Each structure stands twice: as structure tokens, then as C-alpha cells.
């Protein structure tokens, strides 16, 4: 199995009881240093390309889902990034050239060693043992940077899937998540709650990081679920928002968040949008430290709940706010209220959209055979 080296940027967290000094039964130090192994080649024989060109898409994602910090996330339909990948004889064998970046931003570097898509593409090539073919990559950004919708993960997922597809789909989704994590670790921190659902689709639980253990959570087909995504004109870089996290939390908050995360998982599996929303709204650890950094966020959450949403929280590191409803029409109404609240409470313009769950994840859109 492929392994990755990383050290989480998050500081160690202490859990303590608010009425006493930390003691062994009530205090837990969480070590966030990981193994120092490197990505391994997983294919015995270097595969040949089966396409000369492929185009892939990877969806936006909502990470954390309130109490599920760094271990719960889901993919949302209709928003995301595209990658076009070509076999290119002018590119040195075993390397990737980023030839063009278009879309919502053009300020990203084309250096593949510092670009989300480039890093993931190189990691996937390493897993496949590609040494004889050079590739050129075009990235079309459908997601803005620092939006809280998994922008870096979408680029990485689309690139990893593109490389895998062009060489005959030799790697599984779990292995592609590892390749995407190589990118996330260098860009925004080692966390899989964006990259896993971006590649796998649906809801995903990260049970363990060492070793990586991913659990898809199936929302029932006969149940309705809509996400109201409201994005203000405000950038919240993931690294900055992670730096704001507390280094200590009361034991009572740890217990509360654990119970809410468990309730959220149960709600997903049962298709209970109301319970899902209630659990999503109940984070007492991360949201309280990040919400004040997003102008108007508290007013937006209040407006969503008063408008009939089952729940509302920050999507990922923000600044996008996400609310949960069970009808598209209700979602439109809630979205209007949230946009107004961003302006009223934070003096920020915002746009709203209502999206369903993306159950597929990153996928091939088109291809040209050799």
C-alpha cells in the first residue's frame, strides 16, 4: 500500500475538564506527527497511455460538516474544476507541464511542484511508475480560491483522475486519494475531508489517517437533501483559518462534539435531513473560533435557521456558509435570507446557490483514443 509522509500543521490539542486542572484521566495529548515514508510505485510494469487526451471533472466539497473537523466531508453537484491532460512528446519523459490555467483565477503558479494539480499529477505518475511519457496539463478553475469549497482538492482530484485515466485506470479511488493528499499536504495541510469526497463522491468518513481508512456513507436514494451554499466576497485562506484553531478544549466540548458527529453519521445513513442539520449546526470547538473571522457569519447562521433551514455552519475553513434543507424551493428562500444577512451583518456582497449531493466524485468527461 502507498504511504505518505506528513506532519499536520495543526498544533497538538489538549482536552481538559473546565472545573479542574488537567489530570491523566481527563487530559489527552494528541500527537500529530506521522510516518516519514514516501509514495511507492504500485504497478509492476509501467503502463502505456490508452488515450492521447482526457478531460476530467472534480466537484466542490463541504468539509467538516460542523463537528466533523478533518474527518467528515461531502461532495456537492454542479460546481468544480476541469483538467485536460495530453500525452506531449515535447515534455520530458516522466514530467508534467502545466500549459494553461483559466477560469475563476489566473494567479496560480504553473510550476507543477507548487500547483495543486501538478503535485497530484506527479504523485499519481509516481504511483504508476511513469518514466517514459511526458504530459501537458490545462487547468480550468470553476472554484474560487479560499472559498471553503475545496478549491485545491478539486484541482488535485481532477488531475489525479486524469493521469489514472490516460494510463488505463490502474489505480483505485483510495490510492488516488493518497495522491491528492500529497497535494493537500503541501498546499493547505494534511486533511482528507475535501480530497476524499472530491474523488469518491457522496459523504465520506475518514476513520483513520495512519493508515488511511476511508468509509463512504450512503445517503438513501429515496430521500431529499439540498445544500444552500452562500459565498461572500471575502477570502479565508485555509492555513490562516487553521492557525486560529484552539490548542485546548474543555472535555465537555469534546464529548459534545463527538456525540454530534456520531448523530451526523447516523443522520446520513438514515436519510434524516433534519437531524443532519441539527448536528451540523452544533459544533462547539471549531466554528466558535472561526465564525468571528468571517464578517457577518453569526447573522447568516441565524438568518438561515429562522428561514427554515435544518442547520447551518461554515463550509470547510470558510468563508462560504452552508445550510441544509430538503426542498429546492426552500433552499432558494433560505439563500436569499443568508445573502441579505452577509450584507447586513458583515457588509459583504454574496452569492447563493442550491445544490444536491454529488454521488459520483471526480470522473472522466471525455477522451481521445490513441
Q: What is the mean pLDDT of the chain?
A: 89
Residue 250 has pLDDT above 90, yes or no: yes
**Closest alpha carbon to 69 in 251, 271, 206, 220:** 206
Tell me the mean pLDDT in the region 167-180: 96
- For residue 199, CA distances in Å to 127, 192, 276 come to 16, 10, 22
* pLDDT interval class at 22 (50, 70, 90): very low
Annotated active-site positions, please? 184, 238
Angle at which helices 173-187 and 116-128 cross, to 10°:
140
Of the candidate ranges 20-29, 100-109, 150-159, 288-297, the one whose mean pLDDT is the lowest:
20-29
Q: What is the mean pLDDT of residues 84-88?
A: 98
Q: Is the dihedral of CA 81, 59, 308, 255 positive or negative?
A: negative
pLDDT band at 240; cut points 50, 70, 90: confident
DSSP 200: H
Q: pLDDT by residue (tens digit) across 252-289?
A: 999 999 999 999 999 999 999 999 999 999 999 999 99
101 has a pLDDT exceeding 80: yes
- DSSP sequence for 39-70: -----SSPPPPSEEEEEEEEEEEEESTTT-TT
Cβ contact 241:147 at 8 Å: no
Res 38: pLDDT? 55
- Show the cell assigned to 182: 500529497
Strand duo 96-103 + 135-141: pairing: parallel
Number of C-beta neighbours around residue 124 at 10 A: 30
DSSP labels for 155-195? HHHHHHHHHHHHTTS-S-HHHHHHHHHHHHHHHT-S--TTH
Provide the pLDDT for residue 42: 77
φ, ψ (nearest 5 deg) of residue 340: -60, -40
pLDDT at 354: 98
* Alpha helix positions (H), 76-146: 116-128
Among 3-7, 73-77, 143-147, which stretch is predicted with the lowest mean pLDDT?
3-7
194-220 mean pLDDT: 97
Q: Averaged over 336-359, what is the pLDDT?
A: 97
Residue of higher predicted confidence among 279 and 20: 279
Residue 307 and residue 325 in contact, taking contact as beta carbons nearer than 8 Å: no
- Calculate mean pLDDT across residues 323-337: 98
Q: CATH says 226-356 is which class?
A: alpha beta
Average pLDDT over residues 308-324: 96
| Predicted pLDDT of residue 200 | 98
Percent of the chain past pLDDT 70, that is, above it, reads 90
Q: Estimate the crossing angle of helix 251-270 against helix 273-280, to 10 degrees.
A: 160
208 pLDDT above the threshold of 60: yes
Q: Is the pLDDT of residue 328 over 80?
A: yes
Q: Is 16 helix (H, G, I), strand (E, B) or coil?
A: strand
**Which of these ranges, 13-27, 149-163, 170-184, 258-272, has the smallest mean pLDDT?**
13-27
78: cell is 454542479
Whether 187 contacts 119, CB under 8 Å: yes
Lowest mean pLDDT among 34-48, 76-90, 138-152, 267-281: 34-48
Other C-beta atoms lying within 10 Å of the C-beta of residue 364: 16
In the chain, where the domains are located: 51-218, 226-356
Using pLDDT thresholds of 50, 70 and 90, give the confidence band for residue 5. very low
CATH of domain 51-218: 3.30.230.10
- In this model, does residue 244 exceed pLDDT 90? no
Between 98-102, 146-150, 338-342, the lowest mean confidence (pLDDT) is in 146-150
pLDDT at 11: 37
What pLDDT is recorded for position 241? 85
pLDDT higher than threshold 50 for residue 183: yes
Amino acid at each position: 500500500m502507498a504511504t505518505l509522509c506528513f506532519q499536520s500543521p495543526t498544533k497538538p490539542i489538549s482536552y481538559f475538564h473546565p472545573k479542574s486542572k488537567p489530570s491523566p484521566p481527563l487530559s489527552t495529548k494528541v500527537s500529530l506527527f506521522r510516518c516519514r515514508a514516501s509514495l511507492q510505485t504500485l504497478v509492476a510494469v509501467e503502463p502505456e497511455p490508452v488515450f492521447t487526451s482526457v478531460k476530467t471533472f472534480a466537484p466542490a466539497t463541504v468539509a467538516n460538516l460542523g463537528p466533523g473537523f478533518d474527518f467528515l466531508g461531502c461532495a456537492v453537484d454542479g460546481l468544480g474544476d476541469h483538467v485536460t491532460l495530453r500525452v506531449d512528446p515535447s515534455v520530458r519523459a516522466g514530467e508534467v507541464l502545466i500549459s494553461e490555467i483559466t477560469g475563476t483565477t489566473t494567479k496560480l503558479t504553473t510550476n507543477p511542484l507548487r500547483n495543486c494539480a501538478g503535485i497530484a499529477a506527479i504523485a499519481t505518475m509516481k504511483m504508476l511508475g511513469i518514466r517514459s511519457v511526458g504530459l501537458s496539463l490545462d487547468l480550468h478553475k470553476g472554484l474560487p480560491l479560499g472559498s471553503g469549497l475545496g478549491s485545491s482538492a478539486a484541482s488535485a482530484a481532477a488531475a489525479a483522475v486524469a493521469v489514472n485515466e490516460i494510463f488505463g485506470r490502474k489505480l483505485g479511488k483510495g490510492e488516488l486519494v493518497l495522491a491528492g493528499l500529497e497535494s493537500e499536504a503541501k498546499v493547505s495541510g494534511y486533511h482528507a475531508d475535501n480530497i476524499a469526497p472530491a474523488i469518491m463522491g457522496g459523504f465520506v468518513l475518514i476513520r483513520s489517517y495512519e493508515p488511511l481508512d476511508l468509509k463512504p456513507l450512503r445517503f438513501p436514494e429515496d430521500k431529499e437533501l439540498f445544500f444552500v451554499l452562500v459565498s461572500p466576497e471575502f477570502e479565508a485562506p485555509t492555513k490562516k483559518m487553521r492557525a486560529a484553531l484552539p490548542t485546548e478544549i474543555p472535555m465537555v466540548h469534546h464529548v459534545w462534539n463527538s456525540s454530534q458527529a456520531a448523530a451526523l453519521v447516523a443522520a446520513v445513513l438514515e436519510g434524516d435531513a433534519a437531524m443532519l442539520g441539527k448536528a451540523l449546526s452544533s459544533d462547539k470547538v471549531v466554528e466558535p473560533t472561526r465564525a468571528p473571522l468571517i464578517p457577518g457569519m453569526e447573522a447568516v447562521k441565524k438568518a438561515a435557521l429562522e428561514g427554515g433551514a435544518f442547520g447551518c455552519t461554515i463550509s470547510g475553513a470558510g468563508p462560504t456558509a452552508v445550510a441544509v434543507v430538503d426542498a429546492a424551493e426552500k433552499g432558494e428562500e433560505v439563500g436569499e435570507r443568508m445573502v441579505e444577512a452577509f450584507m447586513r451583518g458583515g457588509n459583504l456582497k454574496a452569492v447563493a446557490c442550491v445544490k444536491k449531493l454529488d454521488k459520483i466524485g471526480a470522473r472522466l468527461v471525455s477522451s481521445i483514443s490513441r
